[in-house]
Chain A
């Protein structure tokens, strides 16, 4: 090959190299996607616009839950070079060790923090005052920035359990739900949780460009791909805030639950759990501290929503249920009389009863709350010849009870509702042995009088009264009646759930009995002058101490506006505490004011929590 021919080799080399480079460019730029992804991760900063959560109003338009501005201190650990950490610790009231351990928690280690370019919440929900102090020196705190958020505020701080609270979303949900990102807020309980998807609104995204130093360099494509945040929907809840507040006041220093429902609609007028807490405690930086503090009270358990979740023996109030079933099945008529000898005669006076005229008819049995009578009624229900066996009869009875929403999930719009307990046949087979239990066994156990293993939540208790007041049906108890911009929502609650007790006369008879409770029976002391009321006392024995004081009522008799169930734990007779509280709340709701100031004062001043504690303290010296 002459040197002249070598030009071909040289040119071939040049052309081949150019082709190789073009091929490589094609691969890097057109075929491979990972570089594009890396580029957008590095250069784009997706800033979330957090919408304010929807507000919550009570049934009369009173604002219960609204928003206030708070500030999250965000940190990008990698950008912290030259940050005045000592100054920052001083403002945040942290020690250097706490500061470091937070960084470690956020980034997974100090070394990792140096490479971590993600944003984390360093300090959450700072109030404006702290933010202002921080802003003065913000220029010294490299790597930190402040993001404003809206948090809850309660101008009328009632119904903490019902409203629920908002907190930072947990990691498990972040991993499984695309909507939530680390650091987002979410409704944790109550309405906030049940109506999260309406309240939260829609987050907006602003696509910003940032340089290698994480400085924001403006909006991408002039905001063409940005989306605006959409405010959460406002809700109107069914609560009557005044009634709720009044009930909470009456229940102060007592443990228990109250549920008040408008029978014609199923709207929950008040849902009280005592002891309760100020919902404002669960807002802001001190959330964890306050939460831990409330968690410490293991007797009062203020975080526990008794009205919705605590299953109590219904006691004598459950006699209404048995009366209804008996009347429906035809084993009981208003004229039926049973004897009482200070107890249930067939079992030698067990369950026991108190002194009252005997024998009574149906109305008298309700008015005087005769235990013997309802043990007979329950026995007769199970002895019913209509059924092949008492097992079948029991199953039928159980279905009756279930149809009132007891022992099943009633389907409220609140999370964590409990279904109570109506023992199953299998359960009794296990306890007594198969075919080793008889009607008399269960009557003796107390199923006739609302004892034994029966468990009913205050909401369910109230729902039974709604069924009676409505003479045969209930609307699912609920606490939200309107959602902003959703006109069809209201229909959700219009369904009437009919019970299996279908004879209107059965209800009329029971109502007459309940009416007599108020006029001449166990509830006569809490009768509101001028209002026809129907009530029933209950004194629920329980394994935890003194009897629970229970009272249920609805009023007015012929046009029920309110049904209410009150349970005060370990307070003794139903007539003593539960009845006055139920009566006072009914008076306030129906008349708008309370005339019976003596009763009111007595209830407000009663302190059952510290009485018990005091009693225990007094016990000690006696032993010595």
Chain B
């Protein structure tokens, strides 16, 4: 039994590994195409992105196997240490890192650079799992403040000190974990969702908020009048709801103007609000070009290496945040759907495997992994196809960059390892 469990692939979930390998391999070929240049292509020229990415891919796969060698209890034992270490690293980079366009989240070493914020994702996931799994069931519900604090610390460091709002937003995905573990009620999420909608409506229809608020109030009054039994509580509830939603609309319409220019611009362009030409050019250009690239792919795509919009650099940041454009353009609807499907399978598989765990730690960690992948998928792809505003986060395994590729590999393979030892109860 012991001998068996020490074998590298003992009891691993092969489906997850296969999806991982597919995504990584497709991702690399896709980057090769995104930066493809007939005259200069040479994968052994290490100043070129596709060659660098090839190194990252190899490093990631080696790292994945290394993780499988480590005993699962190592991660439970060291979860907080990792968390503390990565937080420290993030603090250091915030003060000692290289300044890139106003944000300070990168260590530069020679030709390579490292973004500790990426590593904060799995470190936070581990810490959250460790904390929540260490509690007795009845006390779980009261542990929300600490759980939120575990999530909030890296978020604040990344937003306030490193000024990388996009990366920090990923941590909001962990709310899904809290929901699953019963720390957050469904109705709170529902209120959150409604609040976000109210924000969007407030910003989009900022000129007629009074009318919208009036209509909401009228609906509330009519509803109350139609009630057979008018209780004070119900009246109070309706009143609060109208005031709350109106308040959100007013506040968000005001706040949007106070936000940093690039965020205001992106959101306004996304909502189709009237903006001046310069703003449109600056913040609408990416989405427009991205839609043109993906849209021009058609049903079956233009063929590998035959994309024009991405290859000829009409799409900015096409090898990183907008890498999905290359998929859409060259592989068309079929290719894009396959990629979305693979991610969906990965996420659903992670959830299903998590649910089968005896160990709370593994389950919580698995949910954290699933939620992080889901967030990246929805936000990244959503931004390239115009569903969401531009938020600069990578598409896992596809976007160019060593930090994110290695970080996602670690994130996933810690779960694969934990899952392979699901017969043990880990704390």
* Chain A residues near B (Cβ < 8 Å): 1, 3-4, 6-7, 9-11, 14-15, 17-18, 20-22, 24-26, 28-30, 32, 34-36, 38-40, 42-44, 209-213, 217-218
Complex: A218 Cα to B292 Cα, angstroms: 21
Q: Binary interface profile of B, 169-188, with partner A (CB < 8 Å = 1, else 0)?
A: 00000001001111000100
Q: A18-B341, A39-B292 are in contact. List 11 more A-B contacts (CB 8 A).
A: A11-B348, A11-B352, A15-B348, A17-B378, A22-B340, A35-B296, A39-B293, A39-B296, A39-B309, A211-B312, A212-B312
Smallest CB-CB separation from A2: which chain B residue?
B182
Are B355 and A4 neighbours in the complex by a CB distance under 8 Å? yes
Complex: A17 Cα to B387 Cα, angstroms: 11
Are A25 and B299 neighbours in the complex by a CB distance under 8 Å? no
Are A36 and B298 neighbours in the complex by a CB distance under 8 Å? yes
Number of A-B residue pairs, CB cutoff 8 Å, is 118
Q: Tell me if B115 counts as interface (CB < 8 A to partner A).
A: no
Question: Lowest 4 CB-CB distances: which A-B pairs, in order?
Answer: A35-B295, A39-B296, A211-B312, A43-B308
Q: Which residues of B contact A212 (CB under 8 A)?
A: 312-314
Are B355 and A24 neighbours in the complex by a CB distance under 8 Å? no
Complex: A18 Cα to B385 Cα, angstroms: 13
Given contacts A1-B186, A6-B179, A218-B38, contact A25 B314 (CB under 8 A): no
Complex: A9 Cα to B382 Cα, angstroms: 21
Complex: A42 Cα to B291 Cα, angstroms: 13
Given contacts A11-B348, A25-B328, A29-B336, contact A209 B295 (CB under 8 A): no
Q: What is the minimal beta-carbon distance from A441 to any residue of chain B, in angstroms?
A: 76
User: B181, B182, B186, B337: which contacts A25 (Cβ < 8 A)?
Assistant: B337
Complex: A43 Cα to B297 Cα, angstroms: 13
Smallest CB-CB separation from A20: which chain B residue?
B387
Are B337 and A42 neighbours in the complex by a CB distance under 8 Å? no
Q: Which residues of B contact A18 (CB under 8 A)?
A: 340-341, 343-344
- B164-205 residues with Cβ-Cβ distance < 8 A to A are 176, 179-182, 186
Complex: A18 Cα to B373 Cα, angstroms: 13
Q: What is the minimal beta-carbon distance from B63 to any residue of chain A, in angstroms?
A: 27
User: A21, A39, A42: which contacts B387 (Cβ < 8 A)?
Assistant: A21
Are B340 and A10 neighbours in the complex by a CB distance under 8 Å? no
User: A25, A29, A36, A43: which contacts B312 (Cβ < 8 A)?
Assistant: A43
Complex: A321 Cα to B272 Cα, angstroms: 80
Are B314 and A43 neighbours in the complex by a CB distance under 8 Å? yes
The main secondary structure of chain A at its interface with chain B is helix
Complex: A211 Cα to B316 Cα, angstroms: 12
Q: Tell me if B127 counts as interface (CB < 8 A to partner A).
A: no
Q: Which residues of A contact B159 (CB under 8 A)?
A: none
Q: What is the minimal beta-carbon distance from B178 to any residue of chain A, in angstroms?
A: 10
Are B351 and A21 neighbours in the complex by a CB distance under 8 Å? no
Given contacts A6-B180, A30-B333, A43-B314, contact A11 B351 (CB under 8 A): yes
The main secondary structure of chain B at its interface with chain A is helix
Are B296 and A25 neighbours in the complex by a CB distance under 8 Å? no
Q: Which residues of A contact B179 (CB under 8 A)?
A: 6, 10
Smallest CB-CB separation from B295: which chain A residue?
A35
Are A36 and B296 neighbours in the complex by a CB distance under 8 Å? yes
Complex: A18 Cα to B367 Cα, angstroms: 18
Are B387 and A24 neighbours in the complex by a CB distance under 8 Å? yes
Are A7 and B347 neighbours in the complex by a CB distance under 8 Å? no
Are A15 and B308 neighbours in the complex by a CB distance under 8 Å? no
Are A28 and B294 neighbours in the complex by a CB distance under 8 Å? yes
Q: Which residues of A contact B267 (CB under 8 A)?
A: none
Smallest CB-CB separation from B343: which chain A residue?
A18
Are B340 and A42 neighbours in the complex by a CB distance under 8 Å? no
Q: Which residues of B contact A3 (CB under 8 A)?
A: 180-182
- B311-338 residues with Cβ-Cβ distance < 8 A to A are 311-314, 328, 332-333, 336-337
Are B291 and A28 neighbours in the complex by a CB distance under 8 Å? yes
Complex: A32 Cα to B180 Cα, angstroms: 39
30 residue pairs bridging A and B, Cβ less than 8 Å apart: A3-B182, A6-B180, A10-B176, A11-B352, A14-B347, A14-B370, A14-B374, A15-B344, A17-B374, A22-B340, A24-B385, A25-B385, A28-B328, A29-B295, A29-B298, A29-B299, A29-B328, A29-B333, A30-B333, A36-B295, A39-B293, A40-B296, A42-B314, A43-B312, A44-B308, A209-B312, A211-B312, A211-B313, A212-B314, A213-B313
Are B344 and A14 neighbours in the complex by a CB distance under 8 Å? yes
Q: What is the minimal beta-carbon distance from B375 to any residue of chain A, in angstroms?
A: 11
Q: Which residues of A contact B293 (CB under 8 A)?
A: 35, 39
Q: Tell me if B35 counts as interface (CB < 8 A to partner A).
A: no
Q: What is the minimal beta-carbon distance from B85 to any residue of chain A, in angstroms?
A: 30
Q: What is the minimal beta-carbon distance from B116 to any residue of chain A, in angstroms?
A: 29
User: A10, A11, A38: which contacts B292 (Cβ < 8 A)?
Assistant: A38
Q: Which residues of B contact A35 (CB under 8 A)?
A: 291-296
Complex: A324 Cα to B336 Cα, angstroms: 88
Q: Tell me if B381 counts as interface (CB < 8 A to partner A).
A: yes
Q: Which residues of B contact A26 (CB under 8 A)?
A: 333
Are A7 and B387 neighbours in the complex by a CB distance under 8 Å? no
Q: Which residues of A contact B387 (CB under 8 A)?
A: 20-21, 24
Are B295 and A34 neighbours in the complex by a CB distance under 8 Å? yes
Q: What is the minimal beta-carbon distance from B142 to any residue of chain A, in angstroms?
A: 15
Q: Which residues of B contact A15 (CB under 8 A)?
A: 344, 348
Q: Which residues of A contact B295 (CB under 8 A)?
A: 28-29, 32, 34-36, 38-39
Are A30 and B38 neighbours in the complex by a CB distance under 8 Å? no
- B237-261 residues with Cβ-Cβ distance < 8 A to A are none
Smallest CB-CB separation from B288: which chain A residue?
A38
Complex: A38 Cα to B291 Cα, angstroms: 10
Q: Binary interface profile of B, 339-360, with partner A (CB < 8 Å = 1, else 0)?
A: 0110110011001100100000
Are A29 and B308 neighbours in the complex by a CB distance under 8 Å? no
Complex: A401 Cα to B58 Cα, angstroms: 97
Are B308 and A39 neighbours in the complex by a CB distance under 8 Å? yes
Q: Which residues of B contact A44 (CB under 8 A)?
A: 308
Are B312 and A217 neighbours in the complex by a CB distance under 8 Å? yes
Q: Binary interface profile of B, 136-159, with partner A (CB < 8 Å = 1, else 0)?
A: 000000000000000000000000
Are A29 and B348 neighbours in the complex by a CB distance under 8 Å? no
Are A9 and B186 neighbours in the complex by a CB distance under 8 Å? yes
Q: Which residues of A contact B299 (CB under 8 A)?
A: 29-30
Complex: A272 Cα to B368 Cα, angstroms: 94
Q: Which residues of A contact B328 (CB under 8 A)?
A: 25, 28-29
Q: Which residues of A contact B292 (CB under 8 A)?
A: 35, 38-39, 42
Complex: A4 Cα to B309 Cα, angstroms: 46
Q: Which residues of A contact B313 (CB under 8 A)?
A: 211-213
Are B385 and A14 neighbours in the complex by a CB distance under 8 Å? no
Q: Which residues of A contact B336 (CB under 8 A)?
A: 25, 29
Q: Which residues of B contact A39 (CB under 8 A)?
A: 292-293, 295-296, 308-309
Q: What is the minimal beta-carbon distance from A232 to any residue of chain B, in angstroms?
A: 34
Are A25 and B294 neighbours in the complex by a CB distance under 8 Å? yes
Q: Which residues of A contact B352 (CB under 8 A)?
A: 11
Complex: A213 Cα to B337 Cα, angstroms: 31
Are A21 and B340 neighbours in the complex by a CB distance under 8 Å? yes
Q: Which residues of A contact B296 (CB under 8 A)?
A: 35-36, 38-40
Complex: A15 Cα to B347 Cα, angstroms: 10
- B280-301 residues with Cβ-Cβ distance < 8 A to A are 291-299
Q: What is the minimal beta-carbon distance from A55 to any residue of chain B, in angstroms?
A: 40
Are B340 and A25 neighbours in the complex by a CB distance under 8 Å? yes
Q: Which residues of A contact B381 (CB under 8 A)?
A: 21
Q: Which residues of B contact A20 (CB under 8 A)?
A: 387
Complex: A210 Cα to B387 Cα, angstroms: 29
Q: What is the minimal beta-carbon distance from B112 to any residue of chain A, in angstroms?
A: 27
Complex: A212 Cα to B352 Cα, angstroms: 45
Q: What is the minimal beta-carbon distance from A11 to any residue of chain B, in angstroms?
A: 6
Smallest CB-CB separation from A3: which chain B residue?
B182
Complex: A394 Cα to B76 Cα, angstroms: 121
Are B308 and A25 neighbours in the complex by a CB distance under 8 Å? no
Q: Which residues of B contact A217 (CB under 8 A)?
A: 38, 311-312
